[in-house]
Amino acid sequence: MDNLESILSENRVFSPSPEFSDRARIGSRAAFDALVAEAERDFEGFWARLAREFVTWDTPFTQTLDDSNAPFFKWFADGRLNVSVNCIDRHLPAKADKTAIIGESDDGTVTHISYQELHDRVAKFANALKAQGIEKGDRVVIYLPMIPDATVAMLACARIGAIHSVVFGGFSAEALRDRINDTEAKLVITADGNMRGGKKVTLKGQVDKALEHGCPSVETVIMLEHLGGVPTGTSSAKEMTWAEAVDGQPAECEPVMVEAEHPLFILYTSGSTGKPKGIVHSSGGYLVNAAMTCSWVFDLNDDDVYWCTADVGWITGHTYVTYGPLALGVTQVVFEGVPTYPDGGRFWDMVERHKVSVFYTAPTAIRALMKLGDEVPNKYDLSSLRLLGTVGEPINPEAWVWYHQVIGGGRCPITDTWWQTETGAHAIAPIPGAIDLVPGSCTLPLPGIMADVVDDHGKKVPTESGGNLVIKRPWPSMLRTIWGDDERFKRTYFPDNLPGYYLAGDSARRDQDGYIWIMGRIDDVINVSGHRLGTMEVESALVAHPDVAEAAVVGRPHDVKGESIVAFVVVKGDRPQGDAAEAMVKTLRDWVTEQIGPIAKPDDIRFGDNLPKTRSGKIMRRLLRGIAKGEPPEGDTSTLENPAILEQLMGND
Ligand code: PRX
């Protein structure tokens, strides 16, 4: 670490090592350039080739892209497949005994699930879902901890063509209820609870609460007795344990072949407006990019032990835990716990014990573990690692270099992968055997992903200038729509001012080498520990409290979380001060936790008599962002109706 400063100031380029490139799937810049050229020359032919290479089709497709109803693009539309067959059956019998999942629980218990066992468990559970009346197209909500059973549940849905919607276990009953109702799910799969960091987390209790508050579509709740609990719900839904549900079910289940465009899942994510959006993903196109990127960007091979630390509640856990790695038939680690329990060496201890070779995590985790000092990872043998990845937010060069030197021993390439819930899979990321790395840049778009940086009229911006990150042509794993809201899909992602381009919602710049540097969101979305949250979502939660009149929420830079949440609140009646203010802060933090979940809890809540507004009543967020950072208001404040409020919110009066 002594030379950290010099490395940063050198802006050093990290070229792929010959040892890595020699065995890599795509092992040179020339090979990469050839793929880019192929995609440019014959866009559809390129994707058709990959779709045949990475996916096993039950009925081969004859048409690659149907853009006749843009932006509702269709890919491989007359092809049929089953995603669970691609993730399991096609590896059998060859890999029957190969470990698919190494599950490690919070307390360190390890279980190995072979591909054959995975098959049997998925088939039994799929039969159990059928026995509860679940059919192709029905929605099933999965609210489970980060355990192999979550993957089993997802694949069981895929096997029978049911559409799953996984809700992150950290979301509250209210958030869960909203998602159940938006999808009109017939069945909910949950667990009694789980252990994280030595503490018990209740899940079933949240489901009970959600159902008590009204989820009329839910007919059945299946509860995994993970902690040995029994179902206790009082709603009218039928309740059973996982064991009861699968009891007597055969370990064979005929897969339902679905059209390529059949929705595989709905996953909710935050946007600019209040309500989270249900992002709809397809079966065929989604799987093509999931498998292809695991092969190209993670360079996964048969002998790799792969570990992605993301929870299945997020898109990363969908594409890079459940679908991509299993489609390639690799062995992966699934971890239920947290990186700091029983101590900050947990990740590195697991890398050593399971001989992890490819490791994928978020910058927030890297920064948190970096703070504990090099002596922690240095205690472990990390020599099995050969590739490291990051996702979710920009990684600062200091954390990048630490990850590279201290975790990767200077020998592992780092793939900084840019993508989104909406893109379904990596879109901009270095192909590790081919691309020179520069800390802080996600480097170049993948072949076939026509990403660019443009101004508000769709014109390419000059090198080094900031602009809108767009993708100019569709790609197989792109979102298909927002569940139940085609108009919002069009408005949000294909706005009229950009000619048919997908608008990512991020700003970015390109440097002279064409490398892309993500600058941040252009909308009111904040990124807390790699999790997307809409400021309006948190504001809506705050104003739903009976004592709150008005609220405005902004992000503030945070050295571990990336951004933290700061809320400016106007209460009904007098502005609370002293002890009353402290008590109100606690009340509101608890309230937001209940409304959304702990990830949305503001770090800082400030009370004002009102909020800084223009004369036309618009809240001036720019000023609030400055105040949140403790910076005196700069720029134009002349349009402000109530300038004195700035001093008050700064805490100066
Ligand atoms: O702002 C970008 C940021 O995360 C957003 C997508 O969030 P979500 O849909 O929750 O998916 C996260 C996991 C894919 C993007 O719009 N983001 C994601 N990856 C990166 C990133 N920002 C910078 N660098 C990245 N590698």
pLDDT in tens, 491-520: 999 999 998 999 999 999 999 999 999 998
Q: Please give the distance, rounded to the nearest whole angstrom, from the Cα atom of residue 392 to the centre of ligand 1.
A: 4
For residues 568 and 77, give the distance between their C-alpha atoms in angstroms, rounded to a whole number: 49
How far, in Å, CA of 267 to CA of 280, rounded?
A: 7
CB 129 less than 6 A from any atom of ligand 1: no
- Per-residue pLDDT, 651: 79
pLDDT level of residue 9 (50, 70, 90 thresholds): very low
Work out the average pLDDT over 562-581.
Answer: 94
> How does 455-488 read in b/e, with b if 16+ C-beta sit within 10 Å?
eeebeebeeeebbbbbbbbbbbbbbbbbbebeeb
DSSP-H helix ranges across 161-226:
173-183, 204-212
Please give the Cα distance from 151 to 144 (Å, whole number).
Answer: 10
Nearest CA to ligand 1 atom 22: 393
Per DSSP, 567 falls in state E
Which residue's structure tokens are 């007795």? 225
CA distances from 607 to 565, 622, 623 (A): 15, 18, 15
The closest-lying atom of ligand 1 relative to the alpha carbon of residue 419 is 14
Longest dimension (CA), the chain: 73
With 60 as the cut, is the pLDDT of residue 6 above it? no
| In contact, 302 and 358? CB cutoff 8 Å | no
Annotated binding site for CoA: 196-199, 316, 529
Sign of CA dihedral 338, 341, 344, 349: negative
> What confidence score (pLDDT) does residue 652 get?
65
* Ligand 1 midpoint to CA 168 (Å): 17
pLDDT of residue 304: 98
* CB of residue 506 inside a 6 A radius of ligand 1: yes
Which residues, 6+ apart, have CB-to-CB distance to 64 below 8 Å?
44, 45, 47, 48, 51, 75, 76
Average pLDDT, the chain: 94
Atom of ligand 1 minimally distant from the CA of 504: 16
Question: How many angstroms is it from 505 CA to the middle of ligand 1?
Answer: 10
CB of 419 closer than 6 A to ligand 1?
yes
Reduce the secondary structure of 411-474 to three states and give it as a string.
CCCEEEEECCCCCCCCCECCCCCCCCECCCCCECECCCCCEEEECCCCCECCCCCEEEEEECCC
Q: What whole-number distance in Å separates Cα of residue 248 and Cα of residue 127?
A: 10
Do 216 and 180 meet the contact criterion of CB atoms below 8 Å apart? no
Q: Let me know how many helices (H) and strands (E) the chain has, helices first.
A: 22, 30
Q: What is the pLDDT of residues 385-429, one digit of tens each?
A: 999 999 999 898 999 999 999 999 999 999 999 999 999 999 999
Per-residue model confidence (pLDDT) at position 10: 44
Peptide bond into 557 cis (omega under 30): no
Q: Which residue has the higher pLDDT, 237 or 291?
A: 291
Beta bridge partners of 265: 164, 281
The verdict on the CB of residue 527 being under 6 Å from ligand 1 is yes
In which band, very low, low, confident or very high, does the pLDDT at 530 lie, cut at 50, 70 and 90?
confident
- Please report, for the chain, the start and end positions of each structural domain, with discontinuous segments joined by +: 523-650
Q: Are strands 481-482 and 516-521 parallel, antiparallel or unpaired?
A: unpaired
**What's the confidence (pLDDT) of residue 14?**
95
Dihedrals phi, psi of 92, to nearest 5 degrees: -105, 150
Q: Which residue reads 């400030």 in tokens?
A: 606
Nearest to residue 624, comparing CAs of 547, 526, 520? 526
| 417 within ligand 1 shell (Cβ under 6 A) | yes
- For residue 74, the SS3 value is strand
Give residue 609 CA to ligand 1 midpoint distance, Å: 36
What CATH number does the domain located at 523-650 have? Answer: 3.30.300.30
- Using the mean position of ligand 1's atoms as its centre, give its distance from the Cα of residue 299 in Å: 21
Residue nearest to atom 7 of ligand 1 (CA): 420
Whole-number pLDDT of residue 613: 87
CA–CA gap between residue 332 and residue 320 (Å, rounded): 10
Residues 536 and 550: beta-carbon distance below 8 Å: no
- Report the DSSP pairing between strands 305-308 and 331-335: parallel
134: tokens are: 């679940």
CA distances from 153 to 115, 224, 256, 406 (A): 15, 11, 16, 37
- Residue 2 banded pLDDT, cuts 50, 70, 90: very low
For residue 442 and ligand 1, the question of a CB distance below 6 A is answered with yes
pLDDT-derived band at 96 (thresholds 50, 70, 90) equals very high
What's the average model confidence in pLDDT over 562-585?
Answer: 94
Annotated binding site for ATP: 392-394, 416-421, 506, 521, 532
User: Can you tell me whether residue 389 is helix, strand or coil?
Assistant: strand
Of the listed ranges 318-332, 479-493, 614-628, the one predicted with least confidence: 614-628
d(CA 538, CA 554) in angstroms, rounded, equals 10
Going from the Cα of 531 to the center of ligand 1, the distance in angstroms, rounded, reads 8
Q: From atom 13 of ligand 1, which residue's Cα is the shortest distance away?
A: 392
Judge whether residue 221 has pLDDT over 70: yes
Buried/exposed code over 599-621 (b: 16+ C-beta within 10 A; e: otherwise): bbbbeebbbbebbbbeeeeebbb
CB-count burial class (<10 Å; 0-12, 13-18, 19+) for 322: buried
Q: Return the axis-axis angle of helices 578-595 and 535-543, rounded to nearest 10°.
A: 120
The ipTM estimated for the assembled molecules is 0.99
d(CA 18, CA 434): 10
Q: Which amino acid is at 462?
A: P
pLDDT band at 1 (very low <50, low <70, confident <90, very high): very low
Q: What is the pLDDT of residues 450-471, one digit of tens each?
A: 999 999 999 999 999 999 999 9
**For the residues of 484-523, what is the DSSP string, one character each?**
T-HHHHHHHHS-TTSSSPEEEEEEEEE-TT--EEEEEESS
Nearest CA to ligand 1 atom 18: 392
Q: What is the pTM of this model?
A: 0.94
Question: Tens digit of pLDDT for each residue in 532-553?
Answer: 999 989 999 999 999 999 999 9
562 within ligand 1 shell (Cβ under 6 A)? no
Helix (H, G, I), strand (E, B) or coil at 19: helix
